[in-house]
Structures are given as structure tokens and as C-alpha cells.
Structure 1
């Protein structure tokens, strides 16, 4: 296991440097893209690189029309499709694509769609981009020449080098196919080379040897013309694999991309969060301070909800347990198999939580740490039970009787459900990041707690102590 892991320092020392002033000068070309950029986010962590951008939590024609009318060149739609079955995903993406085409006609605007997926390659791929392509093409004159695959995400330590996608663990880079993420019960895969991964995921429909690869050498040599030529040759929805270890690589690639698009080429995108920041022209912003996040004086405690089960979350949770600033409530979700007991357990959790928050205590509600395992061949049943559990976790927020001083949700699906169903957010604004890769929403006026700071803490992002430090930072002084 992990036989192919490499030392970060060693790998990075071999990558040629690039003049950042030239790159930043070149990015003025980003303004030449006269298209509305619509980012479909399969869980709410995709806003982890942006600020001042709207997130809509439904894909009604009305919401998409509002997004088109905004001054911003980009808006996000939260689909939360990573928690969907394949059929639900297909249906949602058909609706989204049809509504995008209709809103674009109403507003007489061209558009680009980015399917923002997980930087560790989990999710409904290639289903989502395939459905988007087919639906847009059957509802309009738009045709897609290719699909850009760019899962680089610096803040989370995800790098693509020599076409192999890596996940950083401390001082090592581990090929994605050798990580816990590749063993995901719903979205597993075996390949770390992105061309081979796309071939594996498309069940051989697209062959790795026919794909186009944008190398780090080419990017670092500023071969814009050569990269543009590569892009101009793409056809038949073939895949473009982009290597990247820093934002400079994404910027250089995007300049070539925009030139190719302005010459009539059209691409679909499957990317992590880095591309959205660059193509949307979002500036750097310092990490958010406590003063920016705690807008009102309150004696109530804050609420942390921990649903994710990935190794990093469990480590961060263990650190949080060392904090004196938090009271803990375990939610025994395994009782989901016995509905009456499950309802009683939920009532106990809700009652305790409301009391503690009213008493000015910060509360962390966490789902029992052992995974519910129904055995082999029970993927769909497990997914359905996990939806029941997720609904119960969401209802905890619905049944909050007091306004907490802040809310933190740990895990992508957990934070999505809490945002849309628990807090009833229809449109939020991304305030920025509280730690690298950890975004904060400011909830809209329609939500259960308008203007509250809602920290969306991805399951697999952050250092071991980040969760504890974020809670302590927000703890009332």
C-alpha cells in the first residue's frame, strides 16, 4: 500500500519555476471571456476558494435567471448530487441544463458550465457532464468540443503531476488511487493517472491514449500558443487532462483556454475549486476574522455538527474533544434500523442541545463514529439509510429553538442538507474562508437565522487542529 508515495519536497524541487509577474500580467486576458460562468457544486464545499459570490440552493428557472442578472460573472448552484442516486442525479442535471439554456435565452447571454466535483475524484462522473452536454445540445445550438478535467486544489493538498493525481498526507504525496477516497463505497476507482481514471470511469468509451495532456513543463515554459493549438484540435467531447501544482499553472492554462474559446471552441469542465477562482477572476482575500463573522452580541453558545466519517474528520474531532470550550452529544444513528428508538434518540439530542446553547455552552453533536455496514451488495440500501440519518441530523437544526452564535457543519453532504433544509437558505453569499479551503456562508434574509455565519467545513480538508482552533476562535470571549 502507498508504494508509490513520494516526498513533497523532492517532487516540487524538480518542477521549473515561473515568473509570477508575467503570469499576473497575462491574466488580464481573463476579462475577455464574455460568458456567464455557472458552477454546479455537488456539495457546498466547492466555494472554498471564492468570496463575494452567490450560492443558490435550488435550480429553478427563477434562481438561475437571478444568477444571470447579477453583475458578478459567476454564480454557484448547489446541487448536492454527491448525496443522490444515479437516477436522481440524471434528472437534476437535465432540469438544470434546460433551465440554464432558457435563462441564457431570456438574458441573451452566452454561458459556460463548470461541474465542480471532489478534488479526490469522488462523485457521479462522467454521468453529470454527459447529461449536461446532451441536454444543452438538444435544447440549443451549443455544441461541446471537449471536456477539461482539472482536479487540482492547492488548499487541500491535491496536485496533478505527470498526469497522476496526488493527495498530500503530511510530507508525502500519495497517488489518489491508493488513498481511502478511492475505496469509497459509492464512487470508488483504481486509477491515479487522470487519463486512465477517465477511461475507467467512462468504461472505456474514452481512451487514455487519445486524450490531450497539458503538461507542467509546457505551462511553466509559458507555451500559451502550443496549449491553445492543443485545445483547438479537440473534438468529439474528448478529454483534456490538466496538470497543476499551483495557481500559476491554472492561470496560464486559462489564458490559452479563453483564446481557444474566443475562436469558437466550447468546453465542459469537471474541476475542483481552484479553476472557479481563476476563471471567475476572484481576488485573494485574507482569512476571515472573528469580528467579521460575529455580527451580533449574544450570550448563546455555538453549534458544531459532525457527520463526515473520513479519517481526517475523525482526527480533527479527537482534537476538538480536548477543548474545554465545547460540550459533546453523541447521536446514536445506528438506531435508524429501529424507527421508534431512533425518534426517541433524536428527541434526546435536540432537547439537550437546546438547553446547552441557551445556557451559553458551545455544543458539538456528532454521529456515532462506526459506519453502518449492511454487508456486500447493499450500496443503494446503505445510501437510503444514510439519507434517513442525514435527514435526522438536518432536523436537529430545524428544531433549534434558540439562535446559536455560529454554526459549523463538518462534511459535505451534512453541510449541504443543514444549509438547505435545516437553515432553509435559498441564496447565500460566500463571505470568504475561515481557514484555507474552509468557506463561510452568510445566510440570506429568507433563512431560519438570517445573516448568521455558517462555516462549511469539508470532511477531508484542514490540519488536525483546525476544527478545534476554529471553534475556539468563534467561542464568545
Structure 2
């Protein structure tokens, strides 16, 4: 009963909700919503007729200064479109559930001197906050995210085990965390969050514990209550809270329909150990993979495309992946060159594939926009928890596209996805 009331409070907030996604994986927990891939004014004007829209910034792939400038520009465009439509705007910054990204630089770019509601929980993906520690569920049990490979990211690495320490570390000591313990959240519901936000100073980062979908709803309703009381808050969150604020939910899919001849390309740029294990589980595809070598100069994209084309002709499926040798904590010195080669190779193949399964957040962003020339997408649903299926809008039509985050899934995730692909 309480959850129904909270949902009603959230639904009654009719602001135009724009979720700025720092890579394409923010649609992990939503369906039936559009994604703006090229954020121009016309796209926002069209989107303002709806309750919510996602917009891809891909800012995690940029240097901090460029990321902040890009996100600030998106925010201004969204505000102009909302004002023209006569609708108030809610801007949500969606980021990684393993704490990577230009978190506070982007917050400062769009809402300086404003308290932050920070909720990195992604419940469907097994990422939750309890006791002030953000954790990831693994086959051997939950572990603090600070103890995983994601905390060793060469760009966004961190050492703090609890979120209060993480806020100090990543915020350069300029911000402080205010926690909302789980017991208080569950005893007082949304008011626990609303009170914390209403009392927060400009440098405060409100970090509520959040373990279940019910907790997510309580946090979302708490934000709505605080804003009704006059609080000005900037939200930075992972997929679960973004979905709740947008009034959206997941739609589990049984299969990914692909028109004949059904040629499937799996493309991976992610260097995480988890990604490598998922690729190895593809068995025959792994053994016959086409690999982009790590080098200080661009690869031969035409030769790589020819090799992929041969695999597609023989098997109907092909795997194109970056060299697995470097590992996540030893990404090559020129990752942009490697990604450019991956994009150029897939661009050659675009008219010849019927489905692309993209592994990695930055990979899926670059392939959708730069290789396949998509301008927008529609989220069909999730083929597995945390794995959205898009219908791209491209010059070649509306092909299906599977976004597999680099930090999501078990060893058999890619294998299971391909088993659910068919006519």
C-alpha cells in the first residue's frame, strides 16, 4: 500500500524529465522510451511532448573539461525546449553504478552550489548501498565495489570503501556526505530523504542506503516531497532511480527478433575481466574472433572488415573484439585510436549486418552514433536484467541493437543473449 502511494506521488509530478546518460547503459531499467543520440534543439522539442526522454552524452569517454561543457550545453538546450513547451524541467544525471564518471564536474556544470542526491544503486544489476557502503552482488556474495576491478579503472579509479569517503576522495575534499541509514529510510519512508534534502547545505551529498525497488521508490518520493517544500536538488544516480523518476519500468523480452538473413555481429571494446570471460564463453565465436591489435597507430579497418565479412559469410555470426591482453587496469596508451578503428570497421559492415550486440558502454555509444549513424533509438525492453534492446533510427532503417554494459552480466551473458536471437 505504501508503495502505491509513493508511485502516485511520483506520477503526479508532471515535469519534463530529461535523463542525461553518460553512456548508453542508463536504459538498463526502462522500456517504451526514446533515446536522443544527437542532442539538438529539434530533438528536444519533439521529446517535450512526452513525460521523459533519455539523451546520450557519452561524457564518460571525454576529458573532464569537455564532459562538463557538453553536459552543460545539453542542459541549456533541454531547458529552452521545456520553456518553449510550457513545462518545468527535471534534469537527472545518470551515471555508472560502479562509481565511475565525471560525477561532480557534471553536477557543477549544470547546477553549481546545489545539494546532490546521489543514488548509485542499480537493483536489477545487483548494485546496492547498505551501511553507507556501495556493494556488488557476486556468485560468492556481496562485495564492496571498491574491492572490484571497476575501482581500479585507469581514469576513474578510487580507493574509498564507504561512500562518505568516496565523496571526499572524488570530490577533492570540497563536498561532504550525509547518509540516510536503511533503518531510518524504512521506518520513515520518503520523509527520511525529504528532511535530509531540505536541510542540506550547498556542498552536501545526500547518500541514502538503497537495497530494493521499494527503497528506490521511497527515495524518489522523498525527492518529490523535498522539492515541493522548496528544496533545490541535483540528482546523480544509476539506472534504478532514473527509471523511477521517469515513471518507467523494465519489460523482459523472450527473444531478439532479427530479419533474414539474420547476420549478427558481436563487437566488444570493453577491457574488463568480466567482458573477457563473457567473450571466452562464446566458444566457436571466440576461437574464430577477429581481433583489433593494440598499437600506437590506427589499425587497418578495411582488412579487419574483410575478415569479419568472411566469418559472417561462413557462420552468419562474427565476433570483433579488442586485444584481450592489456586487461582493464592496463588499458593501452591510445584507447581512442583503438576505438576509432573499431568504429571504422563496423561502419564498413553496417549494410551487411542485421543485428549488432555491443559489449561496453563507450563501445555501444560510438558504434550506434558513429558506425551505424543512428540519430535516436527506442528502448524495446531488456533481453536479460540490465541488458536493453534498442531499435535504432538510422539511414538504413531501424535495426535492433543490444547494449551490453561492460560491468554487467555473468560469464554466460553473451552466450545467453545469442541463444535468444532469431527470426
Q: Please, what TM-score do these two structures have when normalized by structure 2? A: 0.94
Q: How does 1:73-112 map to 2 (within 5 A)?
A: 73-112=51-90
Determine if contact 1:57/1:427 at 8 Å carries over to the other structure: yes
TM-fit CA distance, 1:160: 0.3
CA–CA separation in structure 1 for the residues paired with 2:190 and 2:57: 34
Tell me how far 1:94 sits from its aligned partner: 2.6
Q: What's the secondary structure of 2:219's corresponding residue?
A: helix
Range with bigger deviation, 264-273 or 365-374: 365-374
Other-structure match for 1:283: 249
Query: Is the CA contact (8 Å cut-off) linking 1:362 and 1:475 kept in structure 2?
Result: no
Q: Does 1:33 pair with 2:13?
A: yes
Which position in structure 2 is the counterpart of 1:306?
268
Distance change (3 Å), C-alpha of 1:133 and 1:357: same
How many angstroms apart in 2 are the aligned matches of 1:468 and 1:268?
A: 39
CA distance in 1, matches of 2:249, 2:69: 35
Q: Which residue of 2 aligns with 1:139?
A: none
List runs of 5+ in structure 2 lacking aligned partners: none
SS of 1:221's equivalent? Answer: helix
Counting matched residue pairs gives 423
Q: 1:469 aligns with which of 416, 419, 422?
A: 416
Residue 222 of structure 2 is matched in structure 1 by: 256
Q: CA deviation at 1:34?
A: 2.5
Matches within 5 A, 1:340-379: 342-343=299-300, 346-359=301-314, 361-371=316-326
The equivalent of 1:294 in structure 2 is 257
Partner SS, residue 392 of structure 1: helix
SS, match of residue 211 in structure 2: coil
Distance between the aligned counterparts of 2:190 and 2:262, measured in 1? 55
Q: SS of 1:234's equivalent?
A: coil
Matching residue of 1:138:
none
- After superposition, the Cα gap between the structure-2 partners of 1:351 and 1:227, relative to the gap in structure 1 and judged at 3 Å, is closer
Tell me, in whole angstroms, the C-alpha distance in 2 between the residues paired with 1:373 and 1:163. 26
> Take 1:198 and 1:104, find their aligned partners in 2: how far apart are those partners?
32
| 1:406 corresponds to which of 352, 355, 367 | 355
User: Which residue of structure 2 aligns with residue 241 of structure 1?
Assistant: 207
- Does residue 296 of structure 2 align to residue 337 of structure 1? yes
Shift in Å, 1:295: 5.3
> Which digits, 9 at most, give the CA deviation of each residue in 1:285-343, with x for residues without a partner?
2x2122xx3253x12421111111111111111111256xx873332322x3245xx22
Q: Secondary structure at the match of 2:401?
A: strand
Q: How far apart, CA to CA, are the structure 2 residues paired with 1:221 and 1:178?
A: 30
- 1:437 and 2:386 are equivalent in the alignment: yes
The structure having more radius of gyration, on CA atoms, is: 1
Query: 3-state SS of the aligned residue for 2:340?
Result: helix
Q: Aligned equivalents of 1:76 and 1:373: distance in 2?
A: 28
1:47-62 to 2 correspondences below 5 Å: 47-62=27-42
1:170 aligns with 2:148: no
Q: What is residue 118 of structure 2 aligned with on the other side?
A: 149
Residues in 1 aligned to 2:189 and 2:303: alpha-carbon distance in whole angstroms: 62
Note the aligned Cα RMSD (angstroms): 2.2
Decide whether the 8 Å contact of 2:159 with 2:166 is kept in 1. Answer: yes
